Chain A
Amino acid sequence: NAGVTQTPKFQVLKTGQSMTLQCAQDMNHEYMSWYRQDPGMGLRLIHYSVGAGITDQGEVPNGYNVSRSTTEDFPLRLLSAAPSQTSVYFCASTNRDRKSRGYGYTFGSGTRLTVV
Chain B
Amino acid sequence: GQSLEQPSEVTAVEGAIVQINCTYQTSGFYGLSWYQQHDGGAPTFLSYNALDGLEETGRFSSFLSRSDSYGYLLLQELQMKDSASYFCAVASGGSYIPTFGRGTSLIVHP
Contacts and interface: CB of A to CB of B under 8 A. Distances in A.
A78 B101 CA distance: 25
> Taking each of B32, B43, B91, B101, which has the highest tally of chain A beta carbons within 10 Å of its own beta carbon?
B43
B102 A102 contact: no
Given A40-B102, A102-B91, A107 B42 contact: yes
Nearest to B43: A107
A104 interface: yes
Interface residues of B, number: 24
Interface of B: 8, 30-33, 35, 41-45, 48-50, 87, 91, 96-103
B87 A43 contact: yes
Interface in A75-116: 90, 92, 94, 96, 99-110
A102 B31 CA distance: 6
B33 A108 contact: no
Contacts of B96: 31, 50, 94, 96, 99, 103
A36 B91 CA distance: 18
Interface residues of A, number: 28
B98 to A, nearest CB: 7
B98 A103 contact: yes
A89 to B, nearest CB: 11
Contacts of B49: 102
B60 to A, nearest CB: 14
Contacts of B32: 102
B48 A43 contact: no
B97 A104 contact: no
